[in-house]
Amino acid sequence: MFAFIVSRLLQAIPVMLVVALISFAMFAYVGDPVAIMLGQDFTEAQRAKLVQDLGLDQPFFVQFLKFVANAAQGEFGLSYRLSRPVAELIAERAPATLELAFCAAGLALVVGVPMGVYTGLYRNSWLSRLFLTFSLIGVSLPTFLIGILLILVFSVWLGWLPSFGRGEVVQLGWWSTGFLTWSGIKALILPSITLGLFQLTLIMRLVRAEMLEVLRTDYIKFARARGLGNRAVHFGHALKNTLVPVITIAGLQLGAIIAFAIVTETVFQWPGMGLLFIQSVGVADIPVMAAYLMLIAAVFVTINLVVDLLYYAVDPRLRVDRGVARGH
Amino acid sequence: MAATNAIGRMLDSDLWWSFKRSPVTVLSAIVALVCIGGAVLAPLIAPHDPFDLASLQLMDAFKPPAWSAEGDLTYLLGTDDQGRDMLSAIMYGARVSLLVGIFATLFATMLGVAVGLLAGYTGGLVDNVLMRVADIQLTFPSILVALLVDGVVRAALPREVHDQIALFVVIFAIGISEWPKFARTVRGSTLVERNKEYVLAARVIGISRARIMVTHVLPNVLGPVLVVATLNLGLAILAEATLSFLGVGVPPTQPSLGTLIRIGNDFLMSGEWWIAIFPGLALVAMVLSVNLLGDWLRDALNPKLR
């Protein structure tokens, strides 16, 4: 177990270093931060001082090490666009993105797993066919189009739900939450559906396929032969064994949710990190872009690590001698 | 004579038989043909030229589709904020979407096939390094990679330069985000092929390694690549639409379907729904039909399912 964690950590380090190198290269070679920060009028002395203050006169490798050390402490400098510390900007936007991602993932699991179980058990019923057709639509529609359609129907035509923003938020320390006000919850509904729909259909199809597979196996037949009821067989035996791949995919999809949050946040003008990133790309705000890049890489590396560990915890076959586990 | 023979052979083939048997496939082939035909022939058959500033009538802005009360028959699907005919704009937009999709897929295919072939045939350290890179990239969603590559290139180039080559930047960004799939597919089949007797024979008679890879192994590993490429085309078109919707894709002077949806999104709240919805429908029709064709091709070429 310990060796496994260490080897996964060792794999994560080069990934982070490469991403750091890309981020740093952007800093070092894209645009001229000195010119951007000085504006129109400056003297040569001011310029030289700024170059020295920013450490731009030092060798590449020293600058890179400094960058990594700063990045590890969450220090990315000032945003060119907003002239505020990047770490502060991101911390301010993070709750919005995380609450949205949490709701979308929750929706996908809470609705997707039961739908998958149902379509797996009663695969010829009309409701199953309806679910499957619906899932095909969910897979084929691009995220932003789903958002636009939802806005059109529920905001423009019916006028039930807001089409942009987070509604009223409550500050809990540095965390701003939309869960505590009615308008905040209403504002969460459409973005969560938009973001979660693809994952929902994916989980549904996955659970369905796994259920179909598992229900054919011998131990299900034996469980029935032992006289267990449908409930115990379906949920105690079958569903439990479909969960290994579901956990893997759902975990990995958490990363995809954060990636697609960029799109959803743009559609709904949701004040999260994704919107911040897109706005920064538009004006080449390198510090924000670099910080976001590093953050996303860190999130992905962590998610992959956690999923691997979960896998290990859920599937007992992996815990026995690995050579044996690989043998079959 | 040769042509009729080829057609006759095609009508006789398993592929054609399985094509005819599936109504969904025939329907999606028709939809795909309509989309591609409309896009390719846009300058010839589009009712208006959306880029001809002289013909734009601001008086005609925000006309709803022809079947609604205030609609105008000259503008079948209505007009946008500048009085451009939506149908023509969609046809020209589909052209850009298709162009980027096809070239991005071609780029990803060439890069992926080259890497996969090299890794699979050479083996050892080269294989390890290349495939590790592919694995790492596969853990990130491809749209995120495309977005980041596009963002970095956009930031790196001066604005004037970028505007000129924006189309190539998008193609590059999407292509680079999708090569690992091809590399994995090709590497898998190369590992199988490299131990076959014809490769051994080629080596015995002293043909160089590069030549064996390109002229002997390559043709035998291309089958699965075709399927992956078809399925990838839909993804690439969607990726382009997403980037353009976010405002970091193709330049506004060459609007794609994604750009049109982005423009339409601004007018959604004031009730002009057709500006965003019709390009969206066109996009979905195109992507869905290409995907269904890809699914069919995958199943038809898979001997296990016959």
3-state secondary structure A126-142: HHHHHHHHHHHHHHHCC
Residue B189 to residue B220: CA distance in whole angstroms:
8
Q: What letters, b where the CB count within 10 A reaches 16 and e where it falls short, cover A95-111?
A: bbbbbbbebbbebbbeb
The span from the CA of B77 to the CA of B54, in Å, is 21
B206-250 per-position pLDDT tens digit? 888 888 888 888 888 888 888 888 888 988 998 899 888 888 878
Q: What is the pLDDT of residues A185-238, one digit of tens each?
A: 888 888 998 888 888 888 888 888 888 888 788 888 888 888 887 777 777 777
- Dist CA A251 CA A263 (whole Å): 20
How high is the pLDDT of residue B75? 66
Q: CA dist A15 to A10, A20, A146, A245, B115, Å? A: 9, 9, 33, 25, 20
pLDDT at A26: 75
| Integer CA distances (angstroms), B109 to A53, A318, A322, B66, in order | 47, 36, 36, 42
Strand, helix or coil for residue B85: strand
Cβ-nearest to A282 among B143, B247, B284: B247
B261 contacts in chain A (CB < 8 Å): 144-145, 148
Q: Which residues of chain B have pLDDT under 70?
A: 1-4, 10-11, 52-62, 66-77, 83, 302-306
Share of chain A above pLDDT 90, in %: 0
Closest alpha carbon to A198 in B248, B226, B235? B235
Contact yes or no for A120/A114 (Cβ under 8 A): no
In the block, which residue shows the tokens 């038989």? B17
How high does pLDDT run on average in chain A?
79
pLDDT of residue A31: 62
pLDDT of residue A327 exceeding 50: no
Residue A324 confidence (pLDDT): 45
Q: Across the interface, do B287 and A31 touch by the CB < 8 Å criterion?
A: no
Q: What is the ipTM for the molecules in this complex?
A: 0.78
- Give the list of residues 6+ apart from residue B159 with CB closer than 8 angstroms, or none: none
Sequence-ordered alpha helix ranges (H) in A39-122: 44-53, 60-72, 86-121
pLDDT at residue A168 greater than cutoff 80: no
Give contacts of B245 with chain A, Cβ < 8 Å. 144, 263, 266
Could you tell me the pTM of the whole model? 0.82
Residue B17 pLDDT: 76
Q: How does pLDDT run across B147-182, given as a tens digit for each residue? A: 888 887 877 777 777 777 888 888 999 999 899 989
* pLDDT above 70 coverage of chain A, percent: 90
Q: Which of B152, B283, B287, B288 to mutate to test the interface with A (most CBs of A within 10 A)?
A: B152
Residue A86 banded pLDDT, cuts 50, 70, 90 = confident
pLDDT bin (cut points 50, 70, 90) of residue A178 is: confident
Query: Residue B11 to residues B4, B15, B16, B306: CA-CA distances in angstroms?
Result: 10, 9, 6, 18
Specify the pLDDT at position A32: 65
CA dihedral (A148, A152, A155, A159) in degrees, to 10, reads: -170
- The pLDDT, as a whole number, for residue B21 is 77
The confidence band for A38, taking pLDDT boundaries of 50, 70 and 90, is low
Put simply, the answer to whether A263 touches B245 (Cβ < 8 Å) is yes
Residue B55: predicted pLDDT: 66
Are A304 and B139 inside 8 Å of each other by CB? yes
- Three-state DSSP class for residue B252: coil
Contact B108, B236 (CB under 8 A): yes
